[in-house]
Structure formats: C-alpha cells, structure tokens
Structure 1
Amino acid sequence: CPWNWGGYHGICSYLLTDMGSWEQGQNQCSKLGASLAMLKDNEMMSWGSSHCQLRSPFQGLLFLLRRDFNYRLGLRRWGEQLQWVDGSYHSEVPVLGNAECVYLGDGKLRSGSCSNQRPYICSKPQAHL
C-alpha cells in the first residue's frame, strides 16, 4: 500500500478528514486511484468508549474513528436498492434511514443527503509486487 495507507487482506485504505459531498469524496478518492470505501462485512467495526476501530476488511489499519464524526462510504441508493461503487448490491448490514447516500455514524450505517459535508474513507486493491 502507498505510504500512510493501511492494508489488510488485499485492500489499502485511507482516511481523509477533508469535508465533502458524496461526489466530492468519490472524486478525491479517484484522484488517489481509489474509490469511497466499501464495508461489506457485518463484523466491520467495534466501538470503544469514544472511538470506533474498523475490523474486517480493515483489520490492522489502526483507524480510530471519532464517534461524533460521520464518515462517508461508497454506498448509495439507486431506486429501491443500495449499490456499492463497484456495482455490487448491498444486502448484509442494515442501513438506517431512506436517504440516498450512506455514511458510518455512531457505530451504524446511516443514510443522509449526498450533499452533506462529511469526511470520507477511500479504499483500493493492494498492488501486487
């Protein structure tokens, strides 16, 4: 993985604290050769008293996410279905709310307006050497 990125199980991830809309987050991740993160595992996080540590697929990254922040992800509602930025459909983890764009907030996947300003998490496949 690039310097300052975390890697686990073939995925490199990076936390950007810049605030942006869903489109701005995806564009910024794209400039880094990545996309907004896809957290497809229902065992993806564990909460401490004031921080969240992401586990699978980000186990070992040592991300400590502040509970009072909402982190934008690469999941968006298209019609009745939620779709990840890779084109796959979301089904395993419940999302609270019926808005268009999904974020990680207070230990749960929640939905809100795509134009709301939030920090974001980027991810991309690990380069094979």
Structure 2
Amino acid sequence: MAEDGPEKSRENVDSELMVQHAETTGAGQSEHGAVIPKCITEKKYPLAVTLVVTILLIIIIALAARKPQPCSPCPPPADAACPDHWIGYHGKCYYKSEEEGDWNISATKCSSFGATLALIDSQSDLSFLVNLTRPVHHWIGLSRQTGQAWKWQDGTEFKNQFHVRGDDQCAYTDVLGVSSTRCTLEKNFLCSQPDACSRKRKPNPSKKDA
C-alpha cells in the first residue's frame, strides 16, 4: 500500500502536466483521452463560414444572371390615334353626329372632316357600331342606284359582310343592324377614317413609284 502512494502521485503529476501543456499549446482532449491540437478545432469554424458564404455568393450570382424578360409595352388606347371626339376601333376612327341631315348632306359633312360616311368592313365592326349608336339611327356610307348593287361612298363594292334590310337606296344603322330607306330622310350620321397608325402603315404610292 505504501508503494502505491508515490506511483499515484507521479500519475497525478503527469496528468496535470499534460493538461497544462495542452492549455499552453492550444490542444484539446477527445472523449477517448486523445489530445487534439487546438488549431484543428479552430479551423472547423472558418471553413464552415467560408462554405456558407461561397454558397450564398453562387446563389446571388445565379439569380442575377436570370434577368426577367422585359414586359412588352402596353398598347396605347385606340382613341389616342384618333382626333378629339372620335372613337377608335380596329384601326379606324368613328365620329357620331349630334346633328341630322339627309344622306347627301351627311356625306358632305363627313368629307369636310377628311372622312367618309362610315365604311364597315366586318360583322364584328357592325356590332360595335350598333352598340355605339343605338337606339338612334345613323347614316352609313352605303348606297345604291335603283336596280344596282350596293356601293360604299369611296366607290368600292359592298361584299355582303352583313345583311341590309329593305329595298331602298341609302343604308343606316338601327338596333337590328343595317336597314335601308329613302336618302332624303334626315338622320344622324356616322363618319369613319383610318386611325393614325393605319395611315402610317399604308404604303405611299409616290414613294413606291420612285
């Protein structure tokens, strides 16, 4: 028993010296008693931080590279391409009068605006104009001589895009679509002309000849 005392004291002294040595040199001790240098444990944290920062930078660069597609410019309102008090629709400007006149007077009035009595190209255009003018009757640019085919005011032939009711010579809009009556009756009138965009797209004959 007496011999154990000095040996235990020596072991205690050795353990204390190892602990002191570990503290002074920056070493740690694992759960199995092995001494781990402090420099290794300290390196784990900077490496982890560097890895996280690198990943974040990669994500930011990837997001920056994915530029959003630019939005297509919104088309301007149709009325913007038309004169004041005119209504734009499908490349044309329409003017509905507050005054009345017979068909010929109405045609002359539209001509003074640089337009014609309304030329209607399709059933959808007619539906728009019927909704625009109802319930008031409005002259349009469709007329005919007795026994002849319908023609527009600009001289082009009517291609039966819609039905014209009646057997008279001048056409007008009503709640049902288009009807005909005597040209001498007085009604409101509807003028039309190409809008500004359509005029720009229209080829210039003088430039073509040049």
Deviations 1:69-126 (A, max 9, x none): 2110000013420001122221221111110000111222111000100001101112
Deviation digits for residues 16-73 of structure 1 (CA, Å, limit 9, x no counterpart): 02110001101111111111001231232169xxxx42xxxxxxxxx3x232x21100
**Identity score, percent:** 31
1: CA distance between counterparts of 2:164 and 2:89? Answer: 24
Q: Report which stretch shifted further, 79-88 or 110-119.
A: 79-88
TM-score where L is the length of structure 1: 0.79
Q: Per chain length, whose mean CA-contact separation is higher, i.e. which structure has more relative contact order (CA < 8 Å, sep 6+)?
A: 1
Structure (1 or 2) with the greater helix fraction: 2
SS of the counterpart of 2:110?
helix
Residue in structure 1 matched with residue 123 of structure 2 by the alignment: 42
1:19 to 94, 100, 109: 100
Q: Point out where structure 1 has 5 or more consecutive residues left out of the alignment.
A: 54-62
Q: Could you say what secondary structure the match of 1:23 adopts? A: helix
**Aligned ranges 1:1-129 → 2 under 5 Å:** 1-43=82-124, 44-45=126-127, 52-53=130-131, 63=132, 65-67=133-135, 69-78=136-145, 79-90=147-158, 91-127=160-196, 128=199
Contact 2:93–2:195 at 8 Å: present in 1 too?
A: yes
Please tell me the residue identity of whatever aligns with 1:126: D
Q: Does the 8 Å CA contact 1:40/1:93 hold for their aligned counterparts?
A: no
RMSD of Structure 2 on Structure 1 (CA): 1.9
Where structure 2 has 5 or more consecutive residues not aligned to the other structure, the ranges are 1-81, 201-210
The number of residue pairs the alignment matches comes to 114
8 Å Cα contact 2:127-2:177 kept in structure 1: no
If each structure's strand is expressed as a fraction of its own residues, which one has the higher value? 1
- 1:60 aligns to what? none
Q: Given residue 114 of structure 2, which amino acid in structure 1 is its aligned partner?
A: G
